[in-house]
């Protein structure tokens, strides 16, 4: 059990990982590892839906224009066109798998389409307000019943095994042969070899104190890829969702952008609307603009939150299209049919990540990155709402096609994990303390609005934390908490490095020291 071989190793069980697994498993032996249970992860938390040009009054060109506008000049136009032109077929693939999207016979598509910030028309197909959960359950059931897919739950990847780490000098390029993974339950480390390895671990929202992400979003794939030699792009662009429920007992509860798409109004405590003073598009401005507007109003007036009011819509409408939000808010004492919802911005999506091509390939041979872990060029400096699940689908399918076109090669026998010179940790309190410190200074210094001084302070703290964690990692047996903290520190460092190198304000990166936007948009690329 300590050594396993698969044709294809997928690290992560979100929509990207599940889609790729189902698309290669007809002819490949697939291993899929996930930190907790199969359906845990950010994909299942997605409320709004999937954006695609499905209706008669929409087109890929319109979707492309909206994406480019939101991306503030940094979207790769060729990638954007390729992804969005393939959007309808990707959605159809999900329909064919049995995903129960919300129906609407009045619409020419047969499905209800909603509109979100930055979109010029209604194009977001959804399953009520729990789209991610519906998609994940549908695909997850197929995964569990597939004879060629082995699901390794409660496993966390430690590091990739590459030719450079093995000391191979006969290969022209650095090549990935698999990964080491810790079994969280047994504490044993498994060596997994594979012809192709895919990083699909999601984003890094937990690097911040307040986030809409689940606890699993610790930047694992990005950090693992960086340590192995992957190129990293545009990590300064962290999307803060404008509307996370503000309530002491509502951990990470997102209020879908579709609420604003259906007429929700942002208000101050006295009931006054403020978004028209920040954007001509009001509540339907792109997320970066709305998040900064809320942040500005809160700091200016010393507020703990602002309010999102949809109570002017009929109660029957809200219960039909937002049943999950309605029920959860009601449990917490907020009746959205009668009163406004207290909201604050929170870290939501990592627009940067491991640099890949159109097939999800990284600069390491036999290694792919897909989903939020990757930087594909689609999102630019600010992701357009509901493009993320579509990106997962398109790049998972492209990577699967590329993998299936390869010839099989003999697998390389890999060395087993060596822990002969380490001990059990004597004090694990250092991990929780460092985790808390990291998330607090990232929120304070590397948040929605930044300055050079704040970034320098964060960099200094990161350097001190890294010394402690590296010493801890070198002397004690690995645990899930230690690995996640190690990955969070590496990912936070990449965010800070990227932010410090961008001397302008663009999209999600806003600096008080560089408020102008440069004429020519350039990606931030980090290489070891």
Q: Which domains does the chain have, with CATH numbers?
A: 1-237+351-410 (3.50.50.60), 242-347 (3.90.700.10), 429-519 (1.20.58.100)
Please state the φ and ψ torsions of residue 374, each to the nearest 5 degrees.
Answer: -95, 155
pLDDT tens, residue order, the chain (528 aa): 589 999 999 999 999 999 999 999 999 999 999 999 988 877 877 778 999 999 999 999 999 999 999 999 999 999 999 999 999 999 999 999 999 999 998 888 899 999 888 899 999 999 988 898 999 999 999 999 999 999 999 999 999 999 988 888 766 789 999 999 999 999 999 999 999 999 999 999 999 988 989 889 999 999 999 999 999 999 999 999 899 999 888 777 889 888 998 999 999 999 999 999 999 999 999 888 999 999 999 989 999 899 999 999 999 999 999 999 999 999 999 999 999 999 999 999 999 999 999 999 999 999 999 999 999 999 999 999 899 999 999 999 999 999 999 988 888 889 989 876 777 766 677 788 899 999 999 998 999 999 999 999 999 999 999 998 988 888 888 899 999 999 999 999 999 999 999 999 999 999 999 999 999 999 999 998
CA 517, CA 202: separation in Å to the nearest integer? 29
Burial class (CB in 10 A: 0-12, 13-18, 19+), 304: exposed
List the strands of the sheet with 232-233, edge to edge. 374-375, 353-355, 232-233, 525-526
DSSP 476: B
CA 134, CA 333: separation in Å to the nearest integer? 26
Among all chains, which residue has been given the structure tokens 């801890």?
472
Q: What is the pLDDT of residue 429?
A: 77
Q: What is the dihedral of CA 108, 114, 119, 121, to 10 degrees?
A: 30
Q: Which long-range contacts link 399-403 to residues 24+ away (Cβ below 8 Å)?
A: 399/20, 399/198, 399/359, 399/360, 399/361, 399/368, 399/370, 400/19, 400/20, 400/23, 400/24, 401/23, 401/359, 402/359, 402/360, 402/361, 402/368, 403/8, 403/24, 403/28, 403/196, 403/368
CA 298, CA 301: separation in Å to the nearest integer? 5
Burial class (CB in 10 A: 0-12, 13-18, 19+), 389: buried
Q: Which of 224, 494, 167, 204 is nearest to 350 (CA)?
A: 204
Query: How many residues can be counted in the chain?
Result: 528
- Token pair belonging to 128: 């009520």
DSSP 346: E
Q: Which of 380, 359, 360, 379 is nearest to 369 (CA)?
A: 360
Q: Considering the candidates 123, 287, 328, 506, report the single residue annotated as catalytic.
A: 287
The pTM (predicted TM-score) of the whole model is 0.92
260 is annotated as an active-site residue:
no
Q: What is the pLDDT of residue 287?
A: 84
């Amino acid at each position: 059990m300590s050594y396993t071989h698969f044709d294809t190793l997928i690290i992560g069980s979100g929509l990207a990982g599940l889609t790729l697994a189902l698309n290669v498993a007809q002819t490949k032996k697939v291993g899929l590892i996930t930190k907790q249970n199969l359906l845990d992860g950010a994909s299942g938390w997605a409320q709004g839906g999937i954006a695609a040009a499905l209706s008669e009054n929409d087109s890929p060109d319109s979707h492309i224009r909206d994406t480019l506008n939101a991306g503030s000049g940094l979207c790769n136009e060729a990638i954007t066109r390729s992804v969005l032109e393939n959007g309808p077929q990707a959605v159809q693939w999900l329909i064919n798998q049995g995903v129960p999207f919300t129906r609407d016979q009045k619409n020419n598509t047969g499905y209800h389409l909603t509109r979100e910030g930055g979109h010029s028309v209604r194009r977001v197909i959804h399953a009520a307000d729990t789209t991610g959960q519906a998609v994940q359950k549908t695909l997850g059931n197929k995964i569990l019943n597939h004879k060629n897919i082995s699901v390794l739950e409660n496993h966390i990847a430690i590091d990739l095994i590459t030719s450079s780490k093995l000391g191979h000098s006969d290969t022209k390029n650095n090549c990935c042969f698999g990964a080491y993974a810790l079994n969280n339950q047994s504490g044993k480390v498994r060596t997994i070899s594979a012809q192709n390895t895919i990083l699909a671990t999601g984003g890094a929202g937990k690097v911040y104190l307040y986030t809409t992400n689940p606890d699993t979003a610790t930047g694992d794939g990005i950090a693992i890829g960086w340590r192995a030699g992957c190129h990293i792009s545009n990590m300064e662009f962290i999307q803060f969702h404008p509307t996370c429920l503000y309530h002491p007992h509502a951990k990470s509860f997102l209020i879908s952008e579709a609420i604003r798409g259906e007429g929700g109004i942002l208000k101050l405590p006295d009931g006054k609307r403020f978004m028209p003073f920040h954007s001509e598009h009001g509540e339907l401005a792109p997320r970066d603009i709305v998040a900064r507007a809320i942040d500005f109003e809160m700091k200016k007036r010393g507020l703990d939150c602002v309010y999102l009011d949809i109570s002017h819509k009929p109660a029957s409408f809200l219960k039909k299209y937002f049943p999950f939000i309605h029920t959860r808010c009601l449990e917490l004492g907020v009746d959205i049919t009668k009163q406004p919802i207290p909201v604050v911005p929170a870290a939501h999506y990592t627009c940067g990540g491991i640099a890949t091509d159109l097939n999800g390939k990284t600069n390491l041979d036999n290694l792919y990155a897909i989903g939020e872990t990757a930087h594909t060029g689609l999102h630019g400096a600010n992701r357009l709402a509901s493009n993320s699940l579509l990106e997962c689908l398109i790049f998972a399918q492209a990577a699967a096609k590329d993998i299936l076109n390869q010839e099989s090669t003999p697998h390389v026998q890999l060395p087993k994990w060596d822990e002969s010179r380490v001990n059990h940790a004597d004090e694990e309190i250092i991990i929780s303390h460092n985790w808390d410190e990291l998330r607090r200074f990232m929120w304070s210094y590397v948040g929605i609005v930044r300055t050079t001084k704040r970034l320098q302070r964060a960099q200094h703290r990161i350097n001190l934390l890294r010394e402690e964690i590296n010493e801890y990692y070198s002397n004690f047996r690995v645990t899930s908490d230690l690995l996640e903290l190690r990955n969070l520190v590496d990912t936070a460092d990449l965010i800070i490095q990227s932010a410090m190198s961008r001397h302008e304000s663009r999209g999600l990166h806003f600096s008080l020291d560089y408020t102008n936007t440069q004429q020519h948009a350039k990606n931030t690329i980090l290489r070891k």
